[in-house]
Structure 1
Amino acid sequence: GDCVVTVLLTEEDKVEDDVVFYLVFSGSSLHHCASTRKVGSDTLETIAPGHDCCETVKVLLCASREGLPVFVVAEEDFQFIQDEAYDAAQFLATSAGNQQALNFTRFLDRSGPLSGDVNSLDEKVVLAFRHLKLPAEWNVLGTDQTLPGKNLNDPQTNWSLSLTSPLLALLVSFLFFLSPHDFPSYPSADDAPRETLMHFAVRLGLLRLTWFLLQKPGGRGALSIHNQEGATPVSLALERGYHKLHQLLTQ
C-alpha cells in the first residue's frame, strides 16, 4: 500500500466534470474504497490502500453523480505483493519478547550512522505494522502467539534485490538469516534485564514506531525495563540525543 495508482480513462469513459470517480478494491477478506483526484482530462490518481496479505484483488472503477445511481466504469486485477517493510514488521512483531532475536539491533548499530534514511524506514515499517493481523493478546513485551504469514526463511518468499532504501535493505537482508522460531523464547521475570521492541525502536531513532508501540499493550510498561546494559528506552533516547523521542517517552 501507500503507492500512487494512476488510472487512464478511454474516450468512452470520459464524462462531465461533476462526476466523482472512486476505486473499490475487493480482496479475500478485506475491501477498500479509495477516492480519486483528476490530474488531467483523461487521468485519475489515488493512493493504494494497505492490505492484510499478498494476493490479487479485483478493482472496480466506479462513478457517481448527484441524483443518479452509482455505475461501474471498468474493472481490472490488482496485485498486492510482499515487500521488505512488511517482512521487517512481521519479524519484529513475532520477535516481541524473544531476547536472541531482538539482540540483532547491535548489528545495525555497528553498521554505521543511519542518516536521513531512518525516516523512510520508520514510515514504511509503521505502515506495515498497521496492516498486520496482530493476535488480540499481542503485547510489546512478548506473546506466545505467532502471526499468520510466511516465515522469512521460507524459500517461497519472493525477495527483491533492488530495494529502494539502503537501511531497509540492510535490515531485511539480516533478518533473512534469522527466524524468531529459530530462537527459544523464555518468559522473564518482570524485573529481569531484557531487550524489548521499545528498546529497538528508540535505539534506531524510530519516532513513529515508538509512538505506535506506546499505544499497544505493554508499550508503557516497556519504558521502565532495563536491558543487560542497564538502559531503559527513556535513557537510550536521552543518551543518543533523540530529543523528540525523549519528550514523547516522558510526556
Structure 2
Amino acid sequence: MNGPTRKMELLPTLAPVYGGGLIVAFLPEDYVLPENIRAFLIFKGSQQRQITEARVVTEDNAFHAVIPDHEPPEEVDVSVYIQLPSHKGNIIATERFTFYLDQTCYLARYLAASVHNLESLEDWDYIQGPNFSLEQEDFSTLDERLTSAFQHLILPINWNLLGD
C-alpha cells in the first residue's frame, strides 16, 4: 500500500482559524479508491496536528470532512490517510491549506478584551477600522461565526461575559 503521494484539489483552500466549515478533497480521476476504506484528513501545521474523519464519496473520488480549528494562522499540509479493512493504511495525497484570521476573529478578540470597559463600543474609529467593520458584516451568519470564534479563543480562567 506504500506509494507516492498524489496532488489533490481542496475546496475551499482556506478557512478562518476557528474552522467549522466543510472541506472537500478531490483526488485525480485516474486514481481508483479501494473499497470499504476509512478515510481521515490530517491537518499538520507548525505547532498543531489535527486528524478528522472524512466521508468517502467514491462517485466523485472525494472526501468530505469538517475543518478543525487551528492555531496559529498559517499554511498547513492537509493529507488524506486511508485505512483498508485489513487495518493497513497510508497517506495517499497531500495539499496546502491556509488558516487565517478573519474579521469575526478580530471582533471576538475585541469583545472579549473590552468586556470590562463600558465605553469600548464608543470608539467608532476602531470599530470601523482595518481589522473588522460592522458596516461590512454579513449579519445572517454572524451569530454562528462569532460563537465559533469565541469558542476558539483562549480566555483567562476567571473571564466571564458579565465582567467584574
Compute the TM-score of the two structures, normalised by the length of structure 1: 0.47
Deviations 1:207-251 (Å, cap 9, x if unpaired)? xxxxxxxxxxxxxxxxxxxxxxxxxxxxxxxxxxxxxxxxxxxxx
Matching of residue 34 in structure 1 with residue 52 in structure 2: yes
Separation in 1 of the partners of 2:61 and 2:74?
Answer: 29
Match of 2:64 among 45, 48, 55: 45
Which residue identity is paired with 2:152? Answer: H
Q: Which residue of 1 aligns with 2:100?
A: 81
Q: CA RMSD in A?
A: 2.5
* Structure 2 partner of 1:209: none
1:168 maps to which residue?
Answer: none
Shift of 1:64: 0.4
Q: CA deviation at 1:47?
A: 2.1
1: CA distance between counterparts of 2:60 and 2:145?
32
- State whether residues 13 and 73 of structure 1, in contact with CA within 8 Å, keep that contact through their aligned partners in structure 2: no
Q: Deviations over 1:78-100 (max 9, x none)?
A: 10012121111111111111111
Mapping for residues 1-251 of structure 1, pairs under 5 Å = 1-11=19-29, 13-39=31-57, 40-102=59-121, 118-142=139-163
Task: Provide the aligned length of Structure 1 versus Structure 2.
Answer: 133
Looking at structure 2, the residues matched to 134 and 26 of structure 1 have their Cα atoms a distance apart, in angstroms, of 24
Q: Whose helix proportion is higher, 1 or 2? A: 1
Relative to 1, partners in 2 of residues 1:82 and 1:53: Cα closer, same or farther, differing over 3 Å?
same
Question: Matched residues in 2 for 1:141 and 1:29: separation?
Answer: 33
Q: Structure 1: which 5+ residue stretches go unaligned? A: 109-116, 143-187, 189-251
Give unmatched runs, 5+ long, in structure 2.
1-18, 128-137
Percent of pairs with identical residues: 30
Structure with the bigger RCO (C-alpha within 8 Å, sep 6+) is 2
More strand, by proportion? 2
Larger Rg: 1
